[in-house]
Structure 1
Amino acid sequence: MSTAAVRPATTGDASEIARLQLTTWRTAYGDALGGDVVDGLDADDVAARWADAVAHPDTDVLVATEGRFTVGFCVAGTAPESEVAAADGSLPDDAARTGLIASLVVEPRWGRRGHGGRLLAAAAAGLRERGADRGIAWVVQSDSASLSFFRGVGWNPDGTVRTLDTGQRTVRELRLTGSLDLRVADPAAEPTTD
């Protein structure tokens, strides 16, 4: 039997977070980003950036575990004005009370076991402690699994779209928003059998 959990990341988790990111990007976003984009990333450089993110005092980096395996991660913090602004640059009244889920990744082979929900719930709790009451996340428009996940917890597109140029392709992202008072069902509340 193995137990699923979420805990704060340490700098010692940086290499595993980098591995999870690169594996998931290759699997889920290779076509959207362009294969050379992901293949061109250096694992050591990515791990060093994750070590910096974990050490940053205004960022919460969480990891999901199942037994002895690290299976996902989430990065959250106060949303910068540039992330929460409307397309015309205007800020909503609650801009200072808006949190950003900058990344939420579960390695595909560990999907559909409640890890994403646990990560988001823990990140939302941390953002509420920082004074936020609403969250936002940017999701690749073609990522139906992530869009469905966020819609399942009550987060929906707010009409803001951005386009990113990867050097090989352009990627459209939708901004989703919702309450940080989450009641996420945990299908893996009971230990799972390996």
Structure 2
Amino acid sequence: MALFSSSDGASADVSVRPAVPGDEDAVTRVQLAAWRGARALGDAVVDLVDPDAVRRRWRDAITAPPGPGFAVLVALAGPAVVGFAAVAPGTLLVLEVDPEHRRGGHGSRLLAAAVDRLRADGADDMVTWVLEGDDGRERFLGEAGLGPDGAERALAVGMDEDGVRSVVERRWSALL
């Protein structure tokens, strides 16, 4: 466990561990807060999300992963879950930190733990997807050694007055 010293001299325990049953509530809270902060999705889209369905999916991912190489990791500040990452073989599926806890090293610790997990499962490279316009995530991933590899996809995220609204994601990758 590492210690993080704040500017006022106080310290708090920070760490990353595998998610355990019961973490799904905090993971859902962090994910919805992060989605609200991702302007590309828009509040109207996030308002349509059923938090109970998201919570059930995270509970299932934590308690019964769909196969080998799937895992959910959580970042802690003391006993509180403040971020999470999920991996599948060769893929960082998601990495989110509660907006109120960003810039505290939680994202870097989660990414390092995710890479360790992928390597332990035999991965030689890693991919992840980034929403167009998420400059902060691009900066974070770029500083960690990932980069766009040219692949992109459009995802339908809801309807607006002009029809289906979609967002573009770009794939980022790195050798491990």
Q: Is the 8 A contact 1:15 1:44 kept in 2?
A: no
Q: For structure 1, which runs of at least 5 residues remain unmatched after alignment?
A: 79-98, 181-194
Q: For structure 2, which runs of at least 5 residues remain unmatched after alignment?
A: 1-10, 160-164
Q: Is the 8 A contact 1:139 1:175 kept in 2?
A: yes
Q: Is the 8 A contact 2:85 2:93 kept in 1?
A: yes
Which consecutive aligned stretches of 4+ in structure 1 deviate over 6 angstroms post-superposition?
A: none
Q: Tell me how many residue pairs correspond in the alignment.
A: 158
Normalised by the length of structure 2, the TM-score is 0.86
- Structure (1/2) with the larger strand percentage: 2
Normalised by the length of structure 1, the TM-score is 0.78
Bigger relative contact order (CA 8 A; separation at least 6):
1
Give the structure 1 partner of residue 12 of structure 2: 2
- Structure (1/2) with the larger helix percentage: 1
Q: For residues 124 and 47 of structure 2, what CA distance do their matches in structure 1 show?
A: 38
Q: Does residue 149 in structure 1 map to residue 160 in structure 2? A: no
Q: CA RMSD in A?
A: 1.1
Give the structure 1 partner of residue 154 of structure 2: 163
For 1:48-67, list aligned pairs within 5 A.
48-54=56-62, 55-56=64-65, 57-58=67-68, 59-67=70-78
Percent pairwise identity: 43
Q: For residues 149 and 105 of structure 1, what CA distance do their matches in structure 2 show?
A: 12
Q: Does residue 173 in structure 1 map to residue 169 in structure 2? A: yes
Give the structure 2 partner of residue 24 of structure 1: 34
1:11 Cα deviation from its structure 2 partner: 2.0
Q: For residues 72 and 170 of structure 1, what CA distance do their matches in structure 2 show?
A: 26
Secondary structure of the 1:33 match is coil
